[in-house]
Each structure stands twice: as C-alpha cells, then as structure tokens.
Chain A
C-alpha cells in the first residue's frame, strides 16, 4: 500500500516540532547538581528563617547574595540533626572550611546592573516576584546552563519561575510606570 506523501510531510513536521519544542531544551542545557543538598523549606519552617536572614543586605545597601560559609557555620558549627545531607555538609565544607561553589540560578549577565535594594526596599517587591517559590522548596534543583551562551536557564524562565530576560524586566517596569532609560540597567 502506498503511503500518501502528505503523511510524510505531516510526520516530518510533527517530528521537527517535537524536536524543537521538547528535544531542543534537553540538548541546549547541561545540568549539574548544587554542591550541598540544601532545603529552603526546612530552614524556613524549623529554623524560622526569612529570606533576608541569609540573603542579606550589607550596611552599604549592596546585596550579599548567596551566603558564604561563615554564615552557615554560625549555626552549623556542629551537625544539626543526623541526616546524611547534614553530615556531608559538615564533613565536606564546614570542617575543612571550604566554601561551597554554588551555582546561582538568577545570575544576570555582566552587562546588566541590578539593584536588589531598589527593588525590595524601595519598590516593595517580594522575593517570589522574580525567584518564584524557591524559598519554599525542599530540595535544590539541578543548575541548568545554556551550552552556548553559558546563561542560567532561569534567565529564560522555567515552569517554577518567570524569566528574568530584558523583556520581563521591561514589562514589569512598564506596568509600574518606571520606564526610564537603558542606562538604568546597562550602565
């Protein structure tokens, strides 16, 4: 039986669309695990920690970002609990005083200037507005990096969080009437 030509075309189109929509994201990103099995949820619920307790602003208003080991060691000088993750953290980082090499999901490219304090303190934005529900997760996602550009996948947006592309910033600024100039971010 002769297969109609349009079926080949249809099949090819579907295969191409499947590859483009479903296969491509798997190919373009490479994943790597975070160095420590960290739970935001445990810290928020059991330790009562708020975002700014660890992701603090310095006295001069700059954002300290991911806390350094000093901050962790303040509570974790000795193991807190008996989990394997805690043991690994103490043995692998706290005891040898080795800084974990975190991969920052929201790291912006070098040509962008972003002020956390302007957005959080002045603009009153919640952390979740950009970072999604990261603060409530029980496990850190693997970090996904674009093989070509080197950017984090979170810049483009994920199912969990809105993207942090320039268009996303512009949309929000436009919505709130803060559309000033390119130099606000590209100094």
Chain B
C-alpha cells in the first residue's frame, strides 16, 4: 500500500489488457498520402487516402477535383474498412469453375449462348467482356438496364428537375456535383415515401407506389395537349389539376429535366417535351478505346435473349451495380444444368443462386477504372489504384473471362490509357499538385503514371448530342406475378435503395445506420402503426414478408412516416428476388 508496487500493477494490468490478442492495433509507420478513386458506385469520386505505413486509416475527398468537387459520401468515407467485412469470401473453386465454363463453351449448341452479365458497363473490364464474348461462339454481352437509357445528364443546365423516385440527393450521380448544382434548379420529387431526397426537395409529390409510369404518361399527355389517359391520374394518387400544374411548371421553367429509374422508360420522351433533350440530357460520352477492341460484342439486354438459351452465365458482381432480380434471369438459363459463375465479394447476391461463387477483390484492393458518371456530360477516365494489396485467392473477373475466351487482357487498362493519350484530346487533372494539363503535353509514360497516382482524364469540348435511340430489349421485365389479390396481399411494397447491389457497406456503417435504425437494414421492413397493428406485429418483431414470388424473414420497424397500407423495405438482393417493382405483400408473424 505504501509503495508504488500495487498501484503500478493495477495500472500495468489495465494497460496489458489493451494488448490482448484480438484487440485491433492501430497501424504504425510513416504517414503518407495517396490518391485514388472510389469504386463503390459509378460516380467514381476522387479519394485522398491517409496511410500510416501501408495501412489506409482515413479516406477523404479531393476538394479541387473537377468532377467530385471534394465530396465523398459516408459509404466512401468508410471504404477502407471493407476488406474486413465479416461476410467476405476468402476462397472459391476457381479451377472447377474454369473447367465448367470451358466445358460449356465446348458443348454450346447452336441455339445456346455463353453470356456475361455486367452490372456496371462502360469500364475497361466491360470492354474485355465484350471482346471475350465476340471471341466465343454464341457469346453475348448483357448489361443491367441503365437509367434514362444510358444517357448523361448536365444538371448545371437544368432549371427544374422532376425526379420520379430517383434518389437525387442520396447517392444518385456524383454527390459533389449534385450538391454544387442544387442551388441552380428547383427540385420536385415524386415518390410514395418521404425519402431524404423528398425532404430536401422544393416540392414533394406523394404518389402511389408503382405509379411512376402513370405520372410520366399523364405529363406527356398534358404537354402534348392531349387528354390525360383514363385512370392514369387516379393511379398516381394526384389530382388532375395537380398534374396539369406540374406539366405547366415543366413547360414554363425549362429546361426541365426528368429523372427516373429504368422502370419509367417514358422519362426519355418526356425529356424531349420539356426541352431538356440535347441541353440537360445527352448521349453518354465514352473515353477512346484501341481500334482493335471495336470488334467487340454489342451490349444487349436480358429481354433480347430467348428463354432457356444461356448455357453458361458469368456475372460480374465484383463492383456494386444495379441488381437484376433472379426471377428475371433464371428463365433465360438452359434447363438442366446451366453453368452460373459469379464473381463477388460475398455470397449474399447472385452467389445464392450460382454453382460457383468466386471471391473478388473489394475496394480499395481492386484495380479497375471508372467511366464518366451519369451526371458527367464529358467523357472521363479514372483508375481505382489499390491502396492495399488484395489477399491471395482473389479472382479477377476480367482475367478469368478473358482466359476462358482465349484472349489476352492482362494489359487492358494500359492499352486504354494509351488509346486515350493517342487521341490527344482533353486534360489530365492530378490531385497531388491540383493542376490540369493538356494530354498533348504529356508523354504516354507520364500519362499512365499520373493516372495510377489518382489522375483523372476528362475530355474537352464535349457536345450536347441527343441520346442514342432506344436499344430494343434493354429493359428487363420481371416475371409478372400470377396473382396479386389485395385481400391476400394487402400491403404495397415501397423499395428503398441500398448502397451497392449486395450491401457492400462498411461493417461499422452497418452498425451505426442499421442498428440505430437511421437507415433500413437488409432485412428490416417499416410499417405504419395502423398497418403493423393490422398485421399483428410490433416494433422489433420477427416476421415474414410474403409476396407471390416467395417470402423472406424480416424484422419490423414501426414508423408513422410510412403511409398506411404500405411496407417499406430495403432493396437488398434477397428482397428484390421476391419483390418486383410493383409488388404487393403481406407481413405475418413468423
């Protein structure tokens, strides 16, 4: 008691407990800065990483970056935690998958197809898939449907933006660009729930779930001076005068841009009528590619492939993208024993349905590139430079598919960079010195080096060309539910976007957002108190969400912000597999 010994022992024991096995230890070493681009969504924001030794410890935006303008969303800020995600795949049957694909290619009958499904087209890896499918007999390159038929948007040119369910203020486009342009346009949000975008809009129109097309058709009729389609206004839940006023505002305060998901194809013709066509909406520009790549297979939609025709399907789910419900894909596979190979970070997406799920590197381990985002009228090219090496056992989808097709794609990124340099157009922005230089002034080696150090190429002198005409079959059609009787399935499903197709969110973010209920988790559903009482469930109850396509276990959140008669669910792959765009459902105690 009267010596330092017992007190020191108490202190030392406390300090010793900080060093027990399993307790994370911060990295130590020299503090360095590196630049890369975020791969978590198509925006591809510039990232400044703070590294201690070789360990990234903090990610932040690059303020002077001409595309992302310094912004980084909460998911991007925590991207360096993704390699430690508990659901991450560590190994997979690569050799068996390779043999199965080779067998399927060899045995592919004339009416059958070998297909690659690319959830994020426009990348250099996408070109590799297209080249591979051109090299394979009966190869077909499939893409997920793109909002606005793949057109690009110039928000700075819009005076009014009507968003039919598009999450404009919560992950749509490039966050920094959207925030910078926001002061210049009036935002009208039409969607069933008061989302964050709805709450940040100048006007929120509460429409009924699944009535986006009806609203678009009503607006088209109004703008063309025709009579409003019968029942269309009633279907939206808005009054005819409200729709007429909205059409009037779009006509008066133009260019008025209409944004919508791929479930509202009428958004493109609507943009013609509002004057946005060619001004605020235009064809998406793409960075130059080597001439030898141009013999690649063209992009095709899933609907253009006959049912029962895909012998082998390879799905690149390594980068988060739009999830196509499995019930739209499964009928396209040959009956019997189709080969389905998925490249993914976890088994929670298509891996649940595939024979072979191969582990893919996650951001910030992966190497790849980001094409121009939806809100970038000019072509762009940025590289995801890995901040940490990928663990052994990871499979690069582009290398795997190129190898299966017998083509060499090992230097594809470099070839693309050389093609851009050869074109001699545009400027290169470098993050470290915050300078833009004309590409013409750079040597190919310097251009490549700068790209790998976080540089961003942007095309110069872009022209507002009208979007290309619609490609037939680019829209998937979910299998129509057999019957959706309101008496059996009393609730309308409202899907809330989740970041990434398969919930690729930092485990820390998942905890903060989902356990605190700030954002619906993958297996949570929100109900109005009256609806919850009618279903016999309460806050936190474990229940089943039933639709005509199946059922999923959920945990209930009771929220007065959800209108009666609706159930709000996070659009995770598991939920999307049982809920179409306009599903009805019921919630029952499990």
The reply on B295 being an interface residue by CB < 8 A is: no
Q: Does B433 contact A (CB under 8 A)?
A: no
Can you name the residue of chain B whose Cβ is closest to the Cβ of A27? B5
A159: CB under 8 A from chain B?
A: no
Of B5, B13, B15, which one neighbours A151 at CB under 8 angstroms? B15
A177 sits at the interface (CB 8 A): no
Contact A150 to B16, CB < 8 A, known contacts A16-B3, A62-B31: yes
- Does any Cβ of A come within 8 Å of B11's Cβ? yes
Q: Which of B3, B11, B13 contacts A20 (CB 8 A)?
A: B3
C-alpha gap A19/B6 in the complex (Å): 11
Q: Does B30 contact A (CB under 8 A)?
A: yes
Interface size on B, residues (CB 8 A): 20
- Shortest Cβ distance from B163 into chain A, in angstroms? 39
* Docked-complex contact B28 and A149, CB < 8 angstroms: no
Question: Which residues of chain B are within 8 angstroms of A17 by Cβ–Cβ distance?
Answer: 2-3
Give Cα A150 to B15, complex, Å.
Answer: 8
Q: Which of B5-40 contact A (CB under 8 A)?
A: 5-6, 8-9, 11-13, 15-16, 18-19, 25-26, 28, 30-31, 33
B461 within 8 A of A: no
From A20, which residue of chain B is reached at the shortest CB distance?
B3
CA distance A109 to B11 in the complex (A): 14
Q: Which residue of A lies closest to B6 (CB)?
A: A20
B111 on the A face (CB < 8 A): no
A28 contacts B by Cβ under 8 Å: yes
Interface residues in A142-187 by Cβ distance below 8 A to B read 146, 148-151
- Scan residues 93-110 of chain A and give those whose CB is less than 8 A from a CB of chain B: 109-110
- Chain B residues positioned under 8 Å from A64 (CB to CB): 30
**In the complex the two chains form, what is the Cα distance from A28 to B30 in whole Å?**
31
Q: Which residues of B contact A28 (CB under 8 A)?
A: 8, 12
> What range describes how many residues of A lie at the interface?
10 to 19
A20 touches B2 (CB 8 A): yes
Pick from A24, A150, A151: contact of B4, CB below 8 A: A24
A20 to chain B, nearest CB (A): 2
> Which residue in A20, A109, A110, A149 is a CB contact (below 8 Å) of B5?
A20
Question: Are B19 and A20 in contact, with the CB atoms below 8 A?
Answer: no
Report if A146-B5 is in contact (Cβ < 8 Å); known contacts: A110-B26, A110-B28. no
- A21: CB under 8 A from chain B? yes
Which residues on the A side are within 8 Å of B8 (C-beta)? 24, 28
- The CA of A64 and the CA of B29, in the complex, are separated in Å by 10
Q: Contact at A19–B12, with CB atoms within 8 Å? A: no
B219-271, CB < 8 A from A: none
Taking A110-B25, A110-B26, A110-B28 as contacts, is the C-beta distance between A21 and B12 under 8 angstroms? no
A-chain residues with CB within 8 Å of residue B28 when the two chains form the complex: 110
Which residue on chain B has the smallest CB distance to residue A16? Answer: B3
Known A-B contacts A62-B30, A110-B28; A150 and B19 likewise in contact (beta carbons under 8 Å): yes
For residue A52, give the distance in angstroms from its CB to the closest CB of chain B.
Answer: 17
A148-B9 contact, Cβ under 8 Å, with A110-B26, A110-B28: yes
In the complex, are the beta carbons of B3 and A19 less than 8 A apart? yes
Residue interface mask B530-545, A partner, CB < 8 A = 1: 0000000000000000
Of chain A, the residue at the smallest CB distance from B12 is A148
Q: Beyond A28-B8, A62-B30, A62-B31, is A109–B15 a contact (Cβ under 8 Å)?
A: yes
CB distance from B77 to the nearest CB of A (A): 16
Residue numbers in B under 8 Å from A146 (CB-CB): 12, 15
Complex CA gap A149/B12 in Å reads: 5
* CB pair B30 A21 closer than 8 Å: no
Residues of B close to A109: CB separation below 8 A = 15, 18
Whether A149 and B4, one on each chain, are in contact in the complex, defined by CB atoms closer than 8 angstroms, is no
Q: What chain A residues lie within 8 Å of B2 (beta carbons)?
A: 17, 20
Query: Known: A24-B8, A62-B31. Is A148-B3 also a contact (CB below 8 A)?
Result: no
Q: Which residue of B lies closest to A13 (CB)?
A: B2
* Interfacial chain A residues near B12, Cβ < 8 Å: 28, 146, 148-149
Q: Which chain A residues lie closer than 8 Å to B16 at the CB level? A: 148-150
Known: A28-B8, A149-B16. 19 other contacts (CB 8 A): A16-B3, A17-B2, A20-B2, A20-B6, A21-B3, A24-B3, A24-B5, A60-B33, A64-B30, A109-B18, A110-B25, A111-B18, A146-B12, A146-B15, A148-B15, A149-B11, A149-B12, A150-B16, A150-B19
Contacts A/B (CB < 8 Å), 15 sampled: A16-B3, A17-B3, A20-B3, A20-B5, A24-B5, A28-B12, A62-B30, A64-B30, A109-B18, A110-B25, A111-B18, A148-B12, A149-B11, A149-B12, A150-B19
User: Which 10 residue pairs are nearest across A and B when measured between Cβ atoms?
Assistant: A20-B3, A149-B15, A148-B12, A20-B5, A149-B12, A24-B5, A110-B26, A148-B16, A62-B31, A21-B3
